[in-house]
């Protein structure tokens, strides 16, 4: 076993002495050592229940003859960090988390890993670190939060964000806004719809790194606790079988994840995280793969924010296994940590609700829920959650209104300064320019709350929350800080968006553009600390962000 490096032989006497201080006994030194990376904290609603799940994982490990060592991980709650300077730390935290998993697993020579987390950057960060180490690994995703209710209406976190715009429009009262605030998030778990956290949990299951039904089983359910315990047992088997993480994760698995992402209409953030995971695995996965697949795979699951269903509905309909059953003809048959191949999991599943998981021949849209656009405004590409765009906005021509920050744009939207036919442009929010590519939900929710999602578009070199809907186009590459065209736009410029044909362009001639490049100086971030380091080494959005 790998852990023999720290526990076997005369030269490891001192190492064993320290390990005995943790409570190990003689017989434990012949058992596999399993690291349990747990992102529990008291600030992240998606993580506050993970202590309990960690206990179940460790119980399973012990019952199957392993020794568990639990350790912690940081985690940013994107919802709490949203809309202020703290959001700039969210995407960079992914790299920090990946480093911490690599450090702990390599320094202590764990034979296997169980990763326990729920939320946006923590999920890919942990998996990125585990891919570097490439030991047997299984993920226990923490599960979705139950939906809230207020005055008979089902609520999610996005209800609170969009409620601000509705209040500004006098559609709801101050008391009703407070009612939404107090009822939108009734307990622990990742936010209720198919936002980034739940999208990634689903894709991790599709990639075969978690047990069936793990992604959709609710955070506080008995089923989730049973899955956690079974995962603890299963990791010991994976160690004995010598099944490493890269024996499971392959290009085929990643392409399966992209295909089901299109079927579900998941978060645009997957266009950052899946390429980053592929890079750690030494696998090619590019924005062009998303573009190619989106044209061939229909969108069949109407999940919030663009549809009417939440994760509990998807779970009751059969969960990810049922979605796999529906999509089987589009997928490759790949390994999973369960010991079953993907087709077997799909064959054993039952589709309980055909309204939630629609047939391929009766899609919501014939193309996938995420679209990639290219053109003169984004030569290297950009992304839009097309699942959340109204039919009348799939093609749009508008007039640019420029903002140098998210807050400027939010203030203008809520103050009524944005009119039908405008294209809100928010720049210097990319990986280098943000820095940290902060996720934006406030401006997109403000547009929706103000009733502008069918008459105003928004483009940015930053990124959006998985809760975004409407014609909101992110990841414009190259970004402004790298001299992308978005840096040279001015108020009044004309912008053409054609989601159906994958195009985004401006009306400037090459002569006009060259003139502006001489007149306009590119802004550079001059701060220190983590963000200062990040801005120097950050990769562009079309390469998945992260560090060089």
Cite the active site residues.
Answer: 465
> What tokens appear for 445 in the block?
């929710």
User: How far, CA to CA in Å, does 85 sit from each of 80, 154, 435?
Assistant: 11, 31, 10
* Rounded Cα–Cα distance for residues 438 and 92 (Å): 10
Residue by residue, DSSP assigns 148-217 as: EEETTEEE-HHHHHHHHHHHHTTSS-HHHHHHHHHHS--SSSB-SSSSHHHHHHHHHHHTTSS-TTTTTS
In b/e form, how buried is each residue of 129-168, taking b as 16+ CB within 10 angstroms? bbbebbbbbbbbbbbbbbbbebeeeebbbbbbbbbbbbbb
User: How far, CA to CA in Å, does 240 sit from each of 236, 369, 387?
Assistant: 6, 40, 43
* Rounded Cα–Cα distance for residues 98 and 92 (Å): 10
Strand-strand pairing, 503-506 and 494-498: antiparallel
* CA quadruple 444, 450, 455, 458: dihedral, nearest 10: -20
* Rounded Cα–Cα distance for residues 475 and 461 (Å): 5
> What tokens appear for 202 in the block?
């689903």
Q: Are 240 and 34 in contact (CB under 8 A)?
A: no
Using DSSP's 3-state secondary structure scheme, residue 505 falls into strand
In DSSP terms, which residues pair with 477 in a beta bridge?
381
In DSSP terms, which residues pair with 325 in a beta bridge?
none
* Rounded Cα–Cα distance for residues 372 and 387 (Å): 12
Q: Are 86 and 96 in contact (CB under 8 A)?
A: no
- What is the separation, in whole angstroms, between the first and last Cα of the chain? 33
* Rounded Cα–Cα distance for residues 480 and 415 (Å): 26
Query: How many Å separate Cα 438 from the centre of its chain?
Result: 13
Query: How many Å separate Cα 494 from the centre of its chain?
Result: 32
> What tokens appear for 307 in the block?
């549809």
Q: Are 265 and 299 in contact (CB under 8 A)?
A: yes
The percent of the chain in helix, strand and coil, each rounded to the nearest 5, is 45, 15, 40
* Rounded Cα–Cα distance for residues 80 and 269 (Å): 18
> What tokens appear for 506 in the block?
């401006």
């Amino acid at each position: 076993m790998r852990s023999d490096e720290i526990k076997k032989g005369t030269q490891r006497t001192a190492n064993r002495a320290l390990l005995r201080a943790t409570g190990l006994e003689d017989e434990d030194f012949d058992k596999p050592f399993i690291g349990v990376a747990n992102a529990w904290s008291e600030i992240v609603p998606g993580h506050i229940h993970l202590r309990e799940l960690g206990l179940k994982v460790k119980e399973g490990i012990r019952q199957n003859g392993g020794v568990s060592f639990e350790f912690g991980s940081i985690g940013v709650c994107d919802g709490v960090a949203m809309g202020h300077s703290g959001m700039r730390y969210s995407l960079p935290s992914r790299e920090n988390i990946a480093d911490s998993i690599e450090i702990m697993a390599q320094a202590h020579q764990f034979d296997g890993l169980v990763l326990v987390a729920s939320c946006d950057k923590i999920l890919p960060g942990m998996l990125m670190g585990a891919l570097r180490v490439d030991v047997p690994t299984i993920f226990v995703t923490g599960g979705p939060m139950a939906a809230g209710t207020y005055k008979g209406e089902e609520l999610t976190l996005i209800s609170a964000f969009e409620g601000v715009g509705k209040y500004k429009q006098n559609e709801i009262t101050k008391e009703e806004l407070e009612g939404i605030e107090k009822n939108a998030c009734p307990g622990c778990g990742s936010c209720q719809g198919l936002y980034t956290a739940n999208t990634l949990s689903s894709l991790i299951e599709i990639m075969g790194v978690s047990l069936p039904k793990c992604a959709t089983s609710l955070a506080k359910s008995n089923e989730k606790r049973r899955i956690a315990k079974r995962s603890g047992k299963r990791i010991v088997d994976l160690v004995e079988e010598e099944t490493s993480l890269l024996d499971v994760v392959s290009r085929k698995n990643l392409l399966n994840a992209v295909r089901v992402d299109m079927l579900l209409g998941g978060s645009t953030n997957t266009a950052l995280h899946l390429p980053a995971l592929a890079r750690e695995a030494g696998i090619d996965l590019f924005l062009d793969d998303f573009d190619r697949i989106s044209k061939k795979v229909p969108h069949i699951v109407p999940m919030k924010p663009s549809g009417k269903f939440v994760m509990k509905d998807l779970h009751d309909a059969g969960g990810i296994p049922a979605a796999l059953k529906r999509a089987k003809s589009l997928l490759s048959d790949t390994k999973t940590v369960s010991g079953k191949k993907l087709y077997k999991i799909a064959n054993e599943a039952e589709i309980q609700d055909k309204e939630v998981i629609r047939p391929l021949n009766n899609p919501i849209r014939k193309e996938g829920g995420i679209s990639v656009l290219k053109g003169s405004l984004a030569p290297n590409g950009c992304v839009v959650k097309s699942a959340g765009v109204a039919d009348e906005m799939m093609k749009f021509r508008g007039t640019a209104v420029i903002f140098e920050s998210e807050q400027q744009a939010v203030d203008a939207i809520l103050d009524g300064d944005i009119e039908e036919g405008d294209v809100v442009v928010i720049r210097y929010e990319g990986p280098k320019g943000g820095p940290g590519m902060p996720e934006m939900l406030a401006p997109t929710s403000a547009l929706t709350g103000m009733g502008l999602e069918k008459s105003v578009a928004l483009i940015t070199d930053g990124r959006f929350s998985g809760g975004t809907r409407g014609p909101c186009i992110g990841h414009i590459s190259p970004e402004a800080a790298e001299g992308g065209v978005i840096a040279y736009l001015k108020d009044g410029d004309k912008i053409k968006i054609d989601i159906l044909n994958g195009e985004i362009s401006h009306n400037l001639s090459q002569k006009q553009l060259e003139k502006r490049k001489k007149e306009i100086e590119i802004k550079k971030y001059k701060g220190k600390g983590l963000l200062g380091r990040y801005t120097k080494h950050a990769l562009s959005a079309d390469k998945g962000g992260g560090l060089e």
